[in-house]
Chain A
């Protein structure tokens, strides 16, 4: 089950536009790695590369000691699952139908799902505390609920490596914690988890390591306590904030200093 993921100096171009160059990342079994960084820094593109949606121009992605491009679709689907939120619509589907699609990679039945797959699908929704969505139309769910169904679909793939693009976006505080707790438990069972997050405090609390991506480059990597500093927030996000680590609850407290809007254009909006 434990599987290493090594991203070895990949370079990605979309059209003539370079997204990033020479990215190096390593994640091992039992570990959650968070990728943080401002909007447009290449986080999603990186996950798309690892899930083989985009192929890098150069460099190599090595999954369990084997280059990713050598896997067949079926083999890869049993090794790496990806939750990428750009979800196609057009045909209405029930939540359980989507989650069951995640089981297809392990399935031997051509036509019907087996008993085991139904059990896995229920467990995937159950562990996310989302069983009430089981028979609902996916299109009628809120963004947060849709996110949970898509996470359940990825979990139902039962892979050693799980990639999740902003798994806690749109979720309220309780559900954010629920999702992160589930990911933590999966990692503790030996899975390799790679997430992109905007929630720096959650990243520090739940993940072994963070990688900070900015303008297509890795600007910092390491243990959250060492990486998340007020200097980093200032240089990467351009946000002045106080970062204080609460020893008692082992949790970072990030308090932004509110600034005054410098630009004069806002008066036009009155």
Chain B
């Protein structure tokens, strides 16, 4: 920490303070709004006082807080995993969504929905297998073509489109179950429970903590496998381990709430633009930034003017994320070696 120059520490503190303020605000607003509008006092009362209005109490404790916490967890996992995948592929434009991983996870989950007699936990497992295989396929194709960062994105788009095409076929064939799958594909936190939160965090948090623990070695992986090996890193093993762990963490969250795009791209870049590429700062702060973005998106989704018709949260994050992606391509494309 003492290695950091003064102006970097200043920007770091400012970033953390701003993030905390906005996150607290978003969290509070999120508990207050919905079909039943609550004042801050009612919220506080229902949390602290066991004899308060049972309806408000059940809405706040049984419905809204697990929902916000699950959204925050998902944002954190997507932010950290996005940073990790960008590091592993040495591609600043990589993101679970763009690299075909999310489409693969969706396909895997949809198959698990459709196949009869599968237990409920088959969904996250199939999502994980689908996600990892599609990500590995796009990495393999890009390597085979000897392509740079843009080639990798193209391979990811190709693989993702292919997975989506198969998904459409699955949807069409399983028409009676397609509503459930579609709902999942839209992405939503409206059904999140304390149980979902427990399962998802039990799977994803160890993986995420390990990624944070290895942040310094991940920095060295930014130089590529060969350079990292010369600096004493067991680079091939670390690379594969990190890829599997971050895919596992993403699948664990995404299998409950559905596909949420572009958080993994936007969050790490917001940190990089402020305090540089050091993963020891990028990964944890990208996690918190991801949480903030998703909680905000989830607030937008629960449009207070029409609380019955929720928008899909994945669409909202994509609407924020796509312009940012285009901005990065135009503004920063040159420095990415494209």
Contact = CB atoms under 8 A, between A and B. Distances in A.
Interface of A: 51-53, 72-74, 76-78, 80-82, 84, 87-94, 96-97, 100-102, 104-105, 109-113, 115, 118, 135, 139, 157
Nearest to A154: B230
A104 B220 contact: yes
Contact of B230 (A51, A87, A89, A100): A51
Contacts of B216: 104, 109-112
Interface stretch (B36-44, B104-112, B232-240, B256-264): B232-240
A77 B231 contact: yes
B335 interface: yes
Contacts of B92: 90-91
A80 B231 CA distance: 9
Given A110-B213, A111-B215, A101 B149 contact: no
B277 A91 contact: yes
A102 B2 contact: no
A78 B232 contact: yes
Interface stretch (B47-55, B137-145, B168-176, B221-229): B221-229
23 contacts: A51-B230, A73-B233, A73-B235, A76-B232, A77-B231, A82-B230, A88-B222, A88-B227, A89-B335, A90-B149, A90-B222, A91-B92, A92-B272, A92-B276, A96-B3, A97-B276, A97-B277, A101-B223, A112-B280, A113-B3, A118-B3, A135-B5, A157-B231
Residue among B91, B226, B232, B234 having the largest count of chain A Cβ atoms under 10 Å = B232
Given A74-B234, A101-B231, A112-B216, 14 more contacts: A52-B230, A77-B230, A78-B232, A87-B223, A88-B90, A88-B223, A90-B337, A96-B3, A101-B219, A101-B223, A104-B232, A112-B1, A112-B3, A115-B2
Contacts of A139: 335
B231 A105 contact: yes
A207 to B, nearest CB: 23
Contacts of A52: 229-230
Nearest to A96: B3
Interface in B193-234: 213-217, 219-220, 222-224, 226-227, 229-234
B336 interface: yes
A78 B230 CA distance: 9
Contact of A53 (B215, B226, B231): B226
Q: Which 7 A-B pairs have the closest CB atoms?
A: A77-B232, A105-B232, A91-B277, A74-B232, A53-B226, A88-B224, A104-B231
Contacts of A80: 230
Given A104-B220, A113-B3, A135-B5, A81 B276 contact: no
A73 B2 contact: no
Contacts of B335: 89-90, 92, 139
